[in-house]
Structure 1
Amino acid sequence: VAEPGTFNGSMAKYEEWAIRMRAYCKAAVHCYTSQDCMAFWTQMTGPIAGNYAHAKLDFHLANGNWPTIDEVVADLNSRFWPMNNGDWAQKKKQKARQGQSQMDAFLVEFNSWKLMASASDDLAILCLEQAINPEVLRLMHHLGKRKDTYKEHITELWLVATGTPMDIGATPWQGKGKGPPKDKSHIMCFRCSLKGHYRSECPKQAQ
């Protein structure tokens, strides 16, 4: 069996290296000994994998208690095995928060996570409502625009957040001599998430 070479911490190369390393150890001895785990650790290099291996070697050299090969591989798998794209997308979707992101850009990113995770519409809507700007969500409910299907839901979200600005309950000012200007201190811009102006008046839209 050819030597497996070194592992520098690259998750993309970990699976192949671990399989080759295990086969190499089995071919080298008739059965695993207590210190065969050193064969794994001494082939690990780089700032991540190398430092991990040095820490493991120092610890077990100090106490003389050596793990089995199965335990070594299980621990390595938990640290270096590439994460399934669906699992990664599911975690991103559940932890997502719109923050300062523009609604249209955020919805595009969120939708890509939903597709990768193969999430149901109900779960996606729940995660989305936890993630978006609460001002947008309140306005959407106030206008009765909430939809039950995911596709319609994100369409209405986009329209509410990027459509004609509204100041609920206020009488529009028609210009000089037709009423006082409205106080905009409580208005939140859905483009930059700052208060004091509407999205259509946002100074960032020209950038």
Structure 2
Amino acid sequence: MPVVVVPMKSLPLAKGRLAPVLDASGRRALAQKMLDHVLVTLRQAGLSSIRVASGAGNDSDLNRDVTTAARAVEAEGATELLLVMADLPYLDSADIAALIEAGRESAVVIAEAKDGGTNALLLRPPTVLEFTFATHRPSAALHAERARAVGIEPVFVRRPGLARDIDTPADLAQLVSDHAAYHVFRHVA
């Protein structure tokens, strides 16, 4: 089974793009609720080696934080890494099973977000490619390019639970209407 790393901005910095509709306290609460959901889902999927990788302070850099985590788990002997973003409130254990199953076909599995970003990666070994998150370009395609550059044809997993992250006020409004657990944020809908 892979070692799981869940990248997460520090709570005070999380979900900054929602500032027009949520105050700092609301953004922290939402980020924590989604992180908790992702962690519970990973455990329900039978994964036990789970870490949260969070940047320190205001200079958090997702690529640096994830690279550091990948190197650390590889140095500890892990041969497979599953990165799952912390803002996936629709994630379920079948989504995780689909990622792991796809890992039988390729050493690089990419879960593409609805906007072309990357919401999860399964990598064998953990440092097989350079990360390209948050580059203001669709990172799923960039991760695929990086995989091909090292001779690996990646597999894409496209499932609603992996594609639907919460980045914009419209995403949040949809989440509030979809899930009773998020109705506390209904004032933004």
Q: TM-score normalized by structure 1?
A: 0.25
Q: TM-score when scaled to structure 2?
A: 0.27
User: Greater helix percent: which structure?
Assistant: 1
Q: Which has the higher contact order (CA 8 A, sep 6+)?
A: 2
